[in-house]
Structure 1
Amino acid sequence: MTKQWWQNAVIYQIYPKSFLDTNGDGIGDLPGIIKKLDYLKDLGVDALWLSPIYQSPQVDNGYDISDYRRIDPMFGTNADFQTLIDQAHRRGIKIIMDLVANHTSDQAAWFQASQKSRDNYFSDFYIWRDPKPDGSEPNNWGSNFGGSAWTYVPARQQYYLHYYAPGQPDLNWENPLVRQGIYDIMRYWKAHGVDGWRMDVITSISKDQNFPDNPNPHGLKYVVANQNDGPRMHEFIQEMHQEVLKPFQMMSVGESPDAKSQDARLLVDPSREELDMIFTFEHMHVDRQPGDVNGRWAVAPLDVVALKHILANWQNALRDHGWNALYFENHDRARTPSRWGDAKHFRYESTTAFATILHGLQGTPFIYQGEEIGMTNPDFELKDYEDIELKTNYQKLVQDNHSISAADFLKAARQISRDNARTPMQWNATSQAGFTTGRPWFTVNPDYLKVNVAADQQAAQSVSRYYKALIHLRHTQAILTDGSFDLLLPKDPHLFVYQRQLAGKTWLIAANLSTTDQDLALLKDWRQAKVILNNYSDFEVATTLRPYEAVILEKES
């Protein structure tokens, strides 16, 4: 079967606000991305996914869109974006936009009209419900950002639903006019040359129209709603596929926060004609305390066994039934060497070890800006963070519910906060890491003096050089795209080891995800194997892997 372009690709995510500022206002912009296209071409990536660049009040860093057809002036102009598309295409790089179709900004024209009355054209573009007889919210649903998922509007004497901030009202996908409005937006950008879509919380678009209360074992006032697998979700996505994705051959990768592998098969099996790939959050939960009322803020050490089980399960479940989207970092996820590795003592080794494990799997690898140089989490204080999710959860969990101490919340923030990924890109050791000549919108990580692109490219242990090698393997070795997958040592708490096989060739991919030496006895059978890649310069095939040592070996039968 002919491969789609994205099955042999490596995709690089850009958070434009933090990538490169060219006009000194402290905010990254489109001309900054254009300026770095040759850097991205040299890295070897095939496509760029841009986090939202549309007009937005920035309540949630652009995931609250007020005008889907206009580039926000902070990033530049529509003409700048057209230049970026054209220049990227000349270099063989595709452009993927971020589609936020579950909700808009409350400043969007649709919502501004909808909130005025119950009987205008846009009245049913959003989800409105009457209060209960006592005037309270329609149900006990809570927002992901804390508090109620409902906000009251006196002009309508009704509440509107928002799974996220009050400034992000959820669209009513039951209304066919809403769906056609979204499809028209997608067609608009396709006409400008956009190649595909990353779809924000796309599995949340269908809601149970009975709006039942959620089970509440902890006795909370508000309980975050089950935001996946609404009754018409698959129907809506299939319609989108027929209306836009299929006729215009646009790649799609959907964010599906609660999806397990069996859910993914329904979404990405080519025969169902829905999405090409989805992002799961399942493997992102392997460092949290299960069942804790504080959710992801109840952090725990990395569970390597759980990580192996989840990734292997997805590899096996989607084999011949769909395609994996592979990632450890993005704009919502902390830096891997700080979160799961050892950024202080083994930054290069832990960065490249996790990269080896990820890029060796079947699927399309996604690299987040700065990942390719081993950027780390900053050790900020609570006052230094910007993220609305962090601030609202601090209010809810620390100040209101007293379910976690301020010290423990800060510890969790330093490990998993979304802001860890949003510090400006570190280009060099000059002022503000070469990101801006002005005052950056968000504090630069103080480690930029040693962790930056210029320094990494000259280093003996270069993270970016290792990533280039991984990307080259993805482009040239069919065993990575087509080979079988077999997990070895599934219960080992430190070693992540698996095999890929294709056409008489076997690859062993192994990494020690710990700070101590680990015995790997099976390596004695690989002493004569060919070394494809390794992250220690003095590597020799032995029966011990050093801290965060990773290797890819090849044998032919």
Structure 2
Amino acid sequence: MSGNSEWWRNSVIYQIYPRSFCDANGDGIGDLPGITRKLDYVQSLGVDAIWISPFFKSPMVDFGYDVSDYRDVDPIFGNLADFDELIEAAHARGIKVIIDQILSHTSDRHPWFEESRANRDNPKADWYVWADPKPDGSAPNNWMSNFGGSAWRWCTRRRQYYLTNFLKEQPDLNLHNPAVQEQLLADLKFWLDRGVDGFRLDAINHAFHNRSLDDNPPRPLELDEKGLPPVNTYEYQWHIHDKSQPENLLFLQRVRQLTDRYPGTITMGEVGDDNTHKIMAEYTTEHRLNMAYSFDLLGSDHSAQFLRDTLEKNREVIERGWPCWSIANHDVPRSLTRWNAEFSTEQALARAPLFVLMQLTLRGSVCLYQGEELGLEEAEIAFEDLQDPYGINLWPEFKGRDGCRTPMPWFDSGAVNAGFSEVKPWLPVPQEHHPKAVSVQEQDPNSTLNQFRALIDWHRGLSAEIATAEQEVLDTGNDLLAFYRRGQTEQLLVVLNMGTGEGTLALPEEFAPAEDITPQLFAGEVAGGEIKLPVAGARVLHLNQ
């Protein structure tokens, strides 16, 4: 990877949620030395880079996404020397390191906010989004928090409201203020100088708001299976004024100008919006983000028709931009549970490699979330064990994000807490995860872990031309997802059975002489002018033009 400034194209990135990866100091919480300790395992997966979720100094109300010091490591994770050691150890193994950056908001305990809320005329009075109440004392407008309820919080000192797109403890920065932009860019430079290879920019399309403070318009409500409206009031609006503002594009160009001064570094943005594909296209054009991922594949719908529609929308607008495909992360139920409601546990596990093959063959890069390679299912967490304020606030209709954040199981055979920690961990390790521990799966050549390794190794064998080849989706009219990857001199035909029964597709005539390069673990056949696939079957055909 060294020397390749575009290493990120078609890369495989492994997301590490540090609280739950490996506890090296025995306090029940994962840490940076724990990550360093497990880098040989990460290397064995064959990934190109790791993305580490926040480890900065924080009150941990939102587990690091409420930053109180952008330039220091929270003591629960270690210190700056531990981070430097991690960087050195990762680079020695050929692994790039991407770190989370939260540029839209801070903790309410950040010194900047403590100064800003003191009064209306201090040096940082305009560093956050403040607004006067309406004449009746109510909030300035109808904007809703992502976590439910009003996005505005009252401050008695200033007798004004401040904007919080997430928790009330996460006040929004005012990036319309040039001084705020300069400070954030300087903080990014601090980590670039320490050797990071890029940034994952959290909720980056929330960085700017419309200064008019106009109300968001209502959106038609999508009722659930019981005929009830959404639990979260955030879903009651079209979010046209509180995020994805045009000023954000200019700021991203400034971020890109900075990272371009450090060859080989990249930016990856998280962009959730009502018009995701348009935002991805705008945010990943030249001189902005290198790539972006959305929430399209983080929901429950994974039908062939939904995937066809999603991929086609992306193809229509992305142009020279670059997507990063993610089907799991620290904010959504695990894919093994979310995408297999109609399957037994055993059948669901057999389908896990299919989802990875899909990601690896799409045009774009890939994010894999820790534990997905083990086939971990969503954990059921008792209310008294919940840590996530999002889930606590909306319980019981929404249980929050703790179910996908439980600690990694490293050892079984009676190991305490599956080898994650010798003391009670911050979240329990589900008993059903113990048999899926790394030590168990290492011994089985056909385990989900070893299937993931084989798939990533297979992916590395694809040509550079295929890595950037254009994508064209076929309308199969059934539960088979099929698409071409067309380069100048070679192309692929990828066919995946996403349904609950066998599926058949007529073999395109041009692919009659194609070579079958499907990874061995997938069933299916090409015979009699047809591609025939059982449940979770797949074929990948390669053709030289």
TM-score normalized by structure 1?
0.87
Q: Does 1:331 align with 2:319?
A: no
Unaligned runs of 5+ in 1: 288-300, 395-405
Aligned twin of 2:477? 491
1:388 partner letter = P
Shift of residue 469, structure 1, vs aligned partner: 2.9
SS in 1 for 2:433: helix
Shift of residue 8, structure 1, vs aligned partner: 4.3
CA contact (8 A) 1:349 1:535 kept: no
Cα deviations by residue, 1:402-438 (Å, 9 ceiling, x for unpaired)? xxxx5xx36xx5xxx5323211112221221211111
Shift of residue 38, structure 1, vs aligned partner: 1.0
**Separation in structure 2 between the aligned mates of residue 345 and residue 465 of structure 1, nearest angstrom:** 17
Aligned twin of 1:267? 283
SS in 1 for 2:83: helix
Q: How many residue pairs are counted as aligned between the two chains?
A: 519
Aligned twin of 2:352? 351
Q: Does 1:447 align with 2:461?
A: no
Q: 1:237 to 1:529 in 2, by over 3 A?
A: closer
Shift of residue 503, structure 1, vs aligned partner: 4.7
Give 1:107-506 correspondences, 5 Å limit.
Answer: 107-216=109-218, 225-226=239-240, 227-242=242-257, 244-249=258-263, 250-258=265-273, 259-270=275-286, 273-285=287-299, 287=300, 302-319=302-319, 321-341=320-340, 342=343, 344-394=345-395, 406=396, 409=397, 413=399, 417-429=400-412, 430-478=415-463, 479-492=465-478, 494-506=479-491
Aligned twin of 2:535? 547
Shift of residue 78, structure 1, vs aligned partner: 0.9
CA contact (8 A) 1:352 1:550 kept: no
Deviating more after overlay: 422-431 vs 180-189: 422-431
Shift of residue 552, structure 1, vs aligned partner: 2.1
SS in 2 for 1:554: strand
Deviating more after overlay: 186-195 vs 520-529: 520-529
SS in 1 for 2:436: coil
**Separation in structure 1 between the aligned mates of residue 512 and residue 336 of structure 2, nearest angstrom:** 30
Cα deviations by residue, 1:30-66 (Å, 9 ceiling, x for unpaired)? 1110011111112111111100000111111110001
Shift of residue 372, structure 1, vs aligned partner: 1.5
1:246 partner letter = D
Cα deviations by residue, 1:77-106 (Å, 9 ceiling, x for unpaired)? 111001001111111111111010000000
1:314 partner letter = N
Shift of residue 498, structure 1, vs aligned partner: 1.5
SS in 2 for 1:75: coil
RMSD: 2.5
Deviating more after overlay: 205-214 vs 521-530: 521-530
Aligned twin of 1:508? 493
SS in 2 for 1:534: coil
Which among 9, 12, 15 is matched to residue 10 of structure 1?
12
**Separation in structure 2 between the aligned mates of residue 303 and residue 192 of structure 1, nearest angstrom:** 43
**Separation in structure 2 between the aligned mates of residue 524 and residue 239 of structure 1, nearest angstrom:** 49
Q: 1:551 to 1:232 in 2, by over 3 A?
A: same
2:55 partner letter = I
Identify, as 1 or 2, the structure richer in helix.
1
CA contact (8 A) 2:59 2:107 kept: yes
1:247 partner letter = R
Cα deviations by residue, 1:482-512 (Å, 9 ceiling, x for unpaired)? 22322123532x2111222335433222221
SS in 1 for 2:507: helix
**Separation in structure 1 between the aligned mates of residue 163 and residue 535 of structure 2, nearest angstrom:** 49
TM-score normalized by structure 2?
0.89
**Separation in structure 2 between the aligned mates of residue 555 and residue 87 of structure 1, nearest angstrom:** 40
CA contact (8 A) 2:503 2:532 kept: yes
Q: What's the % identity of the aligned pairs?
A: 36
SS in 1 for 2:81: helix
CA contact (8 A) 1:535 1:549 kept: no
Cα deviations by residue, 1:309-338 (Å, 9 ceiling, x for unpaired)? 11233245334x121111111111221121
**Separation in structure 2 between the aligned mates of residue 93 and residue 520 of structure 1, nearest angstrom:** 39
SS in 1 for 2:165: coil
Shift of residue 544, structure 1, vs aligned partner: 3.0
**Separation in structure 2 between the aligned mates of residue 253 and residue 148 of structure 1, nearest angstrom:** 29
1:370 partner letter = G
Unaligned runs of 5+ in 2: 222-231
Q: 1:535 to 1:546 in 2, by over 3 A?
A: farther
